[in-house]
Structure 1
Amino acid sequence: MKTKTPLKSLGNQTSYAFSYDFNLLETFENVHQGRDYFVEFHCPEFTTLCPITGQPDFATIRINYIPQAKMVESKSLKLYLFSFRNEGEFHENCVNRILEDLIKLLEPKYLEVLGNFTPRGGISINPYANYGIPNTKYEEMANFRLLHFNLAK
């Protein structure tokens, strides 16, 4: 039996956007709002274009968040990330734009985005950005995680 849902992309034929589109993102209600927990997305097939050369850049994008009232629907996230495919963006801009878009969409308690880009010219770039609700333990968590980012490497 098929369940009816207000989500547009889930359960329908996949149609890919070939330019950046925030409006592809969809949400559903977090039914566990009384509990803090992490949701992690591991997106190993992210691509974008170098804004100078037009050459493709490949990355694994990791998104972790502690939801509040809304959750991001995974197929819509996949389609949204795919929409970067023909965008000319520096790695750091991609990660920060994803972070800002998901903050706007979800209003999460905590959110972090890491881009592990494959090397070009012998150098890999791995930008990290995070957010926690201001004046809460989540902001303290964001500050701590940022200050201690990749210290083990």
Structure 2
Amino acid sequence: MRPEDLNDLSLLGQKSVPYIFEYQPEVLEAFPNRHPENDYFVKFNAPEFTSLCPITNQPDFATIYISYIPDEKLVESKSLKLYLFSFRNHGDFHENCINVIGKDLVKLMEPRYLEVWGKFTPRGGISIDPYYNYGKPGTKYEQMAEHRLFNHDLYPETIDNR
């Protein structure tokens, strides 16, 4: 990593970073992709995501899966952790949380491709697994996003961990 790549990162390496309990997209930080000539996936699994039901104020728990093909920028992982943590006291429906996360990451990085999948634990006997994806308009990634959206859940996994 080149020192100039770290200029815009304020959270990485800090020992006392406050954890904000309300939705805070401005905590997200990005750094330059040193390999923009390559197509490659970056994947994050966040098994401790928590938000609140906007009606009952009950906690909702999920594993959030984020996968993307970067273009010029990558999301810094500590800022992503703090960002996801900021949903802890945020009241919103599962579907909206996933769409907001996806749109915030697209705004931050302008990736070639991005998908966010939330696997929420059941409440009332029903689990909700919203899926968001994005492909850069006018590129092959836009077509990839459409294909993955139409085919993302053809072979649902066995639900034995919830």
**Does the alignment reach a TM-score above 0.5?**
yes
Equivalent residue pairs, number: 151
String of CA shifts for 1:85-127, please: whole Å, max 9, x gaps. 0000100000000000000000000000000000001100000
Q: C-alpha displacement at 1:18, in angstroms?
A: 1.2
Distance, in Å, in 2 between the alignment partners of 1:149 and 1:40 is: 16
The answer as to 2:64 corresponding to 1:94 is no
Runs of 4+ in 1 over 3 A off after TM superposition: none
Alignment gaps of 5+ in structure 2: 157-162
Tell me, what secondary structure is at the counterpart of 1:104?
helix
Distance, in Å, in 2 between the alignment partners of 1:55 and 1:45 is: 16
Q: C-alpha displacement at 1:14, in angstroms?
A: 2.7
Q: Percent identity?
A: 63
Counterpart selection for 2:46 from 43, 46, 66 = 43
Distance, in Å, in 2 between the alignment partners of 1:74 and 1:136 is: 27
Using structure 2 for the length normalisation, give the TM-score.
0.91
Using structure 1 for the length normalisation, give the TM-score.
0.96
Distance, in Å, in 1 between the alignment partners of 2:10 and 2:136 is: 29
Alignment gaps of 5+ in structure 1: none
The answer as to 2:11 corresponding to 1:9 is yes
1:59 maps to: 62
Task: Name the Cα RMSD after superposition.
Answer: 1.1
